[in-house]
Amino acid sequence: MLLKNIYNEFIKILAKPRSYIGIGALTLLICIILFAMKADGSSFISFVTSSFEQTLSFNGTILNGNLIAFIILQMLIVHIPLLVALVTGDLISGEAAMGTVRMLATKPISRTKIVISKFIAGAVYTFILTLWLIFLSLFVSKFIFGSGDLIVLNSEGLVILKEQDILWRYGLSFIVAFLSLLTVSSVSICFSAFAENSIGPIVSTMAVIILFTIIGSMDVSVFQNIKPFLFTTHMASWRSFFEDPVPYSKIFNSIIILVVHNVLLVSIAIIKFNKKDITS
């Protein structure tokens, strides 16, 4: 029954016009960035590298597909949560708003399975969105700009990664980026279990992300204790794969925090949906 309902949820997601807004917006944004980089990427790069030019000399093509992909991921990973929440925030509350939750809840399937099937369908949608982001940013960028070594500027300075040392880093960072977005999906599904309309969970999810991000970025001692436990703190962990050496323990810690968030949030959604009187 769970598999049948997961299939049902896929059909619903595929049939909803809003599911394509995310993919469309992502494609458009990446095309705009690629166009901008193609048109004036060298001046953008020289602005970043100018501070190092007195101490370092750069040979080869810095502006390559690997760098463009990194720039795109850095720019968009902040905005994609909205595109994820747009679909996943509607999964439970959309049924209440439409009235179909009555029909669904009177079928011989447990409410727990209803929430789990929605979570799985939302996870697959998030996976596809993340995959599409990686495909467009990495493979299309490489096709247009060619390949080469990757120069990454982080808090500890400049990291230069060899061309043959990059693809696996993108592969692993994709997994962590997906886990981050899956947490966003879980947040919105959790809000969705409490709401009776589609907009509330989407707005609430974004509000939480903004709030937690602000708390995380403030250098105030009172927030330092909670900062390591906020999921937003770990949403940028995918970037750690582009450090040398890779801080695996830090990444593993982030993965644990994100997984715990997912389990907790989905559990809350299940408990709430099971206890809910369906009066809509």
Partner 1 sequence: MSEEVIKVEKLAKNFGSFEAVRDVSFTVNKGDVFGFLGPNGAGKSTTIRCLLSLIRLNAGTIQMFGKSYATHRYEILSKIGSIIEKPDFYNYLSAQKNLEIFARISGATVSTKEIHEMLEFVGLGGRGKDKTKGFSHGMKQRLGIAQTLLHKPELIILDEPTTGLDPQGIIEIRNLILRLKNEQNKTILLSSHQLSEIELIANRMVIITKGKSLVEGNVQELLNAQELTVRLELSDVNKAIPLIQQHFANVEITRINEVEISLSIEKKQVSHLNKMLGENNILVYALEPKRKLEDFFMKIVQS
Residues that bind partner 1 (CB under 8 A): 1, 4-5, 7-8, 11-12, 15-17, 98-100, 102-110, 275, 277-279
The nearer residue to partner 1, 109 or 255, going by C-beta atoms, is 109
Q: Output the smallest distance, CB 224 to partner 1, in A.
A: 42
Q: Output the smallest distance, CB 114 to partner 1, in A.
A: 9
Question: How many degrees, rounded to 5, is the angle at CA 244 between CA 240 and CA 246?
Answer: 45
Helices and strands (DSSP H and E) totals, the chain? 12, 2
Q: Output the smallest distance, CB 12 to partner 1, in A.
A: 6
Q: Output the smallest distance, CB 13 to partner 1, in A.
A: 11
CA 203 to each of CA 6, 105, 120, 208, 210: distance values in angstroms, whole numbers, following the listed order: 25, 26, 22, 9, 11
Q: What is the DSSP letter of 55?
A: T
| Cα(176)–Cα(61) distance, integer angstroms | 28
Q: Output the smallest distance, CB 276 to partner 1, in A.
A: 9
The secondary structure of 2-28 as a DSSP string is: HHHHHHHHHHHHHH-THHHHHHHHHHH
How many alpha carbons lie under 13 Å from residue 66 in its C-beta half-sphere?
Answer: 21
Residue keyed to tokens 């096709």: 143
The nearer residue to partner 1, 15 or 222, going by C-beta atoms, is 15
